[in-house]
Amino acid sequence: MVRVTLQTVADAVGVSRMTVSNAFSRPARLSTELRDRILAVAEELGYSGPDPAARAFARGSTGVVGILVNSRLQDFFADEVSSAFLGGIADGLTGSGLSLALLSTQEEVGGRVPARDVPMDATLVFTYRYDADSLRWLRRRGLPLVLLDQAPIAGIASVNIDDHGGARQAAEHLLQLGHRDILIVGVEPPTPGGLVEPEGVTGRRMRGYVAALAAKGVELPSGAVVVAPASIEGGIAAMRRAWEDGLRPTGVLAMSDAMAIGVLRAARELGLRVPEDISVVGFDDIDISQHTNPPLTTVHQPIRRKGESAVRLLLSVVQRRDLPPQQLRLETRLIVRGSTGPVPRGRQEVSRTRH
Distances (CA, A) of 234 to 200, 229, 237, 244, 266: 20, 5, 5, 15, 10
- Alpha-carbon distance of 5 to 10, in angstroms, equals 9
pLDDT of 354 above 60 = no
- pLDDT recorded at residue 341: 97
In percent, the amount of the chain with pLDDT more than 70 equals 87
The answer regarding whether domain 64-161+303-330 maps to CATH 3.40.50.2300 reads: yes
What CATH number should be reported for the domain whose range is 6-59? 1.10.260.40
Cβ atoms of 307 and 87 within 8 Å: the answer is yes
- pLDDT recorded at residue 317: 84
- pLDDT recorded at residue 193: 46
Give me the phi and psi of 16, to 5 degrees please: -80, 165
User: Where, residue-wise, is CATH 3.40.50.2300 in the chain?
Assistant: 64-161+303-330, 163-301+335-354
- pLDDT recorded at residue 118: 85
- pLDDT recorded at residue 55: 56
- pLDDT recorded at residue 67: 92
pLDDT per residue over 202-228, tens digit each?
889 999 999 999 999 998 888 899 999
Fold assignment, 163-301+335-354 = Rossmann fold (3.40.50)
User: Where, residue-wise, is CATH 1.10.260.40 in the chain?
Assistant: 6-59
Q: What's the pTM?
A: 0.80
List the single range of 39-53, 66-80, 306-320 with lowest mean pLDDT. 39-53
pLDDT of 192 above 60 = no
List the single range of 69-78, 148-157, 269-278 with lowest mean pLDDT. 69-78
pLDDT per residue over 115-168, tens digit each?
888 888 899 998 656 567 888 888 888 889 999 988 888 888 999 999 999 999
Compute the Cα dihedral for 7, 12, 17, 22 and give only its sign: negative
- Contacts of residue 100, defined as CB under 8 A and 6 or more positions apart, other chains included, come to 64, 65, 66, 67, 89, 90, 93
- pLDDT recorded at residue 51: 62
- pLDDT recorded at residue 94: 87
Query: Cα torsion for 288, 293, 299, 301, to the nearest 10°?
Result: 10
Cβ atoms of 262 and 236 within 8 Å: the answer is yes
54-62 long-range contacts, CB within 8 A, separation 24+:
55/25, 56/119, 61/121, 62/119, 62/120, 62/121
